[in-house]
Structure 1
Amino acid sequence: MITALLLFWPALAALLVLLIKGEGAKKVAFIATLVEFAIALFATVNFVPDATTQFAIDVPWVERAGIGFSIGMDGISLLMVLLTTFLVPLIVLSSFKHDYKNPHVFYALVLFMQTGLIGVFVAMDAFLFYFFWEVALIPIYFIAAIWGGARRIPVTFKFFVYTIFGSLFMLAAFVYLYFQTAGTELAAHSSNVNAFYQLTMDSATQSWIFWFLFLAFAIKMPVFPFHTWQPDTYTESPTQATMLLAGIMLKMGIYGVIRWLLPVVPLGVSQWADTVLVLSIIGIIYGSVIAIRQHDLKRLIAYSSIAHVGLISAGIFTLNEQGLQGGMIQMLSHGINVVGLFFIIDIIFRRTNTREISNLGGITQTTPALSIVFLILLMGSIALPLTNGFIGEFLLLSGVFQYNYIFGAVAGMTIILAAVYMLRMFQGVMFGTKSEATEGFADLTFHEKAVLIPLVIMVFWIGLFPNTFLSISEPAVGQLLSIINR
């Protein structure tokens, strides 16, 4: 019942928001997202930290075909649900100072997207997973295309085509896997995730299925060289859409790898793991180097996201506990840090009407609160000890070193490169002499602090007490590894 409530509440709230005209829409949307977060916290309190799927609902959807409306949460799912329900209220709150045309449509789309995101993380049926995968795409497409920047139409179209292209490969793989499952008295086959886990296929078959699934997930993450849609989309989309894309939506791809790729085609994974690790490490270096060369704040963070995702991808394909657990905690950390950084960039842009580093400077002279918060989120992003990023990167690099010390040494350059582009950005924006654009720059308002303070709290909570979250996913990760190594 809890899982169903988590899934359907945002959709019901979206329908209500559509009926509300004017500024009231944003307030109702914000309250609805807080209710959703409260439901997720209730689920967490009642969650038993073991490897079982809890709060499950499994009813026939297409009964004769063996397709069911099967939803539930294990520790891996729960962490992603917590991330989604924690960030969406802050993303909605961050939009309050924006005057979006037709706000009731904007906030309804955000809520519909939350339904799609939750659906992806709780679906235990392949076709249900695919359904919500596409549901999550539609609202963000319209948000970016309607409220984005000057180049929003071609950029959003490219993003949509990329994602649909990958999704078709995933659907083809799911259809094939479905027909490989054993029949029962009630249905010819099954699309339940456990039925997929029990399949035994030869190495050649698993190899092509691996690439069909990996292509869909790699585009969404995105992993080099499937990343080309990302920088322009992040830059041209309205800030709240960028937050949704970077903070939550890219986690759909990583989650898909963990849930639907690694345990379903383990022979294919072992055959191609080195290739993926090389691509991921190239992405770390490439994303970092390009980020160093950026002058637009939003594009800089976009390329930094490619580097961070590259490390997460490398870690989870090591197929060891450190890598997978590091991937889980780093998904939380990256979502928190990147949402905070994009909001700070939005604050700077609204006050100065520029995102060019060369046009900024001296902001720290009059903004002690902004300076401290900005620095904390930045330090979390470059994995300073006692912050959230340190825990994830330590576990990820430990997993990669355990897999291959050469890969680990190269991937470890992310720490140095991240410090270069992040500190360069902070120095150019916050220090030096004031520019014409930053004269009279005001410090954080109460509303802005309300968005940023919860993020700062989580930076230190995860950094100081990581077992709060690692203990939730550990049993499910252990079971996943046992399925992969069977």
Structure 2
Amino acid sequence: MDVTTLLIILLVGSFTTYLSGDKWASKVALLFGLTSFASSLCLLSQYELGNEINYSRLWISNPEVFFALQADGLAIAMLLLTSALTPIIIFSSFGNTYKNSKAFYALILFMSFAMCGTFLASDGLLYYVFWELSLIPIYFIALIWGNGDAEERKKAVVKFFIYTLAGSLFMLIAFVYLYQKAGSFMISDLTQLKLSSIEQFWIFMAFFMAYAIKIPLIPFHTWQAKVYQKAPTVGTMLLSGIMLKMGLYSVIRWQIPIAPLAAKELMPILIGFGIAGVIYGSVVALRQKDLKKLLAYSSLAHVGLIAAGAYTLTLDGLRGAVLQMIAHGFVVVGLFFVAEIIFRRYETRKITEMGGIRAQTPKFTSMFLILVLASVALPSTFNFVGEFTVLYSLFQVNIWFAILGGTTIILGAYYILKMFQHVMLGETNSKVFADVTFNEGLTLVIIIAVLFFFGMYPKPITDLITPSLENILTQVNRFN
């Protein structure tokens, strides 16, 4: 199977979904989403550990730009995450009704297409095009189908768009400079450049502006909570489950290998940014009264730890970061879906208006509790594997980094269990909470099954990503 097949399926699926009309849009989108996942599995079956599946055709002659795609173990892992979560997110939306649903579901598939392109691109300009394309569908999804006051929603979404676009322009300038030096946008050529330490510093910082906003790292996070709150739950799932992983992936794929000297020099500061996000996100989450905002700050804390692991420049740090990226994707989608299930019945996201749900629906309560425990990295869940590996990598760099990063265990357990207590426990609520439907239950069961399976047996993913990460570390250490 050609590496372009997945992109073609998602792009054709987007247009087909729009043309299918409102009545069939959700079902057609789900069909193409499942087909894209099957395509990712076929790509995985063709992949040989340590090798790459490449596709390259000249796209623009002057400047020389190639439509170049590279599927190594790291890229395939991110493709599997994207193509697995896309149909889950689409299926989770079946309990909602959307105006102009053909456009809504077409935008979801188009966003998935752009994100997969970002993970596959090995030409810098092509990568930048896919990076920017992913911003367009989420802008319209949040703006048109979001919730709350229209004016507030518009302000939040426009701020997000301007922030991310402005950060990306720094990255584009860096690519233009690198092209002047290498005569190529190909990552294989850019990583071989012998840039001075000053050049690497400025290139690194240009990439950092784009990635720190997208992830986001503090203090570049100010757009996140409002957008997560105002976007429809499907949009929030796409942002938190997949889109922020583009920034984390790009740190590993592009930023660190191109400017390794700067990465090593700035390592303590960068790890400090990540750990600061862990503590800040956890403390602010404690004060939230809106369930979606609480989960947004929880996500901020988790991705801060992932970024800290990536910036350790160790194999354990990179491996733990990727494992935690995938685990976080499934957990955060599950938690936001739980918030949506409650909203469908109570029409509120205020935690103070909930409580007493457990007495009415033990089955839903059990599934919610499993997701909560997975979020705090309970052993035997997928999050534990990634979080432990990241903390071990921080310990290798400096024991204090590990101690401060480890506060995520204590703080995370406190605010997430406190949230669960207020939302689910207590006296029976006067409002009737209908038990989960078959579709809702199936969505949660699939997510929980993934978290337990890879929590008990992470070897397939570890084996898949390790050769690629070892190659990246070889590039990072080429100046030693």
- TM score, norm. by length of structure 1: 0.97
Aligned residue for 2:204? 210
Q: Distance in 1 between matches of 2:23 and 2:410?
A: 45
Q: What is the CA-CA distance between 1:451 and the residue it aligns to?
A: 1.2
- 2:360–2:428 contact (8 Å) kept in structure 1: no
Matches of 1:206 and 1:443, distance apart in 2: 56
Give 1:12's aligned amino acid. V
Q: Is the 8 A contact 1:359 1:435 kept in 2?
A: no
Q: 2:214 aligns with which of 191, 205, 220?
A: 220
Counterpart residue type for residue 78 of structure 1? I
**Alignment partner, residue 127 of structure 1:** 125
Match of 1:323 among 299, 317, 327: 317
Rounded Cα–Cα distance in structure 2 between residues aligned with 1:2 and 1:88: 21
- What is the match of residue 303 of structure 1? 297
Cα deviation, 1:441-485, whole Å, max 9, x if unaligned, reads: 122110101211110011101100011111100000011111101
Once the two structures are aligned, what percentage of the paired residues are identical? 45
Q: Which residue is 1:42 aligned to?
A: 42
Partner of 1:455: 447
Partner of 2:153: 152
Matched to 2:448, the amino acid is: V
Aligned pair partner of 1:192 in 186, 190, 193: 186
Q: How many residues get paired?
A: 475
SS of equivalent residue, structure 1 residue 385: coil
Contact 1:22–1:103 (CA<8 Å) still a contact in 2?
yes
Computed over aligned residues only, the root mean square deviation of the Cα atoms, in angstroms, reads 0.9
Q: How does 1:67-216 map to 2 (within 5 A)?
A: 67-149=65-147, 150=149, 151-181=152-182, 189-216=183-210
Q: Residue 23 of structure 1: CA displacement?
A: 2.1
Q: Which residue of 1 aligns with 2:248?
A: 254
SS of the aligned residue for 1:58 comes to: strand
1:185 matched to which residue of 2? none
Q: 2:463 corresponds to which residue?
A: 471
Q: Give 1:22 deviation, angstroms.
A: 2.3
Residue 419 of structure 1: how far off its partner (Å) = 0.1
Gaps of 5+ in 2: none
CA distance in 1, matches of 2:440, 2:429: 23
Structure 1 partner of 2:327: 333
Counterpart position of 1:14: 14
Structure 2 Cα separation of the partners of residues 228 and 335 of structure 1: 21
User: Aligned partners of 1:368 and 1:89: how far apart in 2?
Assistant: 27
Q: How far off is 1:375 after superposition?
A: 1.0
C-alpha displacement at 1:20, in angstroms?
Answer: 1.9
Q: Partner letter of residue 380 of structure 2?
A: L
Contact 1:91–1:243, Cα closer than 8 Å, also in 2: yes
SS of match in other structure, 1:2: coil
Residue 277 (structure 1) aligned to one of 257, 271, 288: 271
Measured in 1, the distance between the counterparts of 2:265 and 2:297 equals 29
What is the distance in 2 between the residues matched to 1:125 and 1:369?
48
Runs of 4+ off more than 2 Å: 63-66
Which residue identity is paired with 2:473?
L
Q: Secondary structure at the match of 1:21?
A: coil
**Equivalent position SS for 1:290:** helix
- 2:390 pairs with 1:396: yes
Q: CA deviation at 1:64?
A: 4.1
Cα contact 1:287–1:304 (8 A) shared by 2 = yes
1:238 is the counterpart of 2:232:
yes
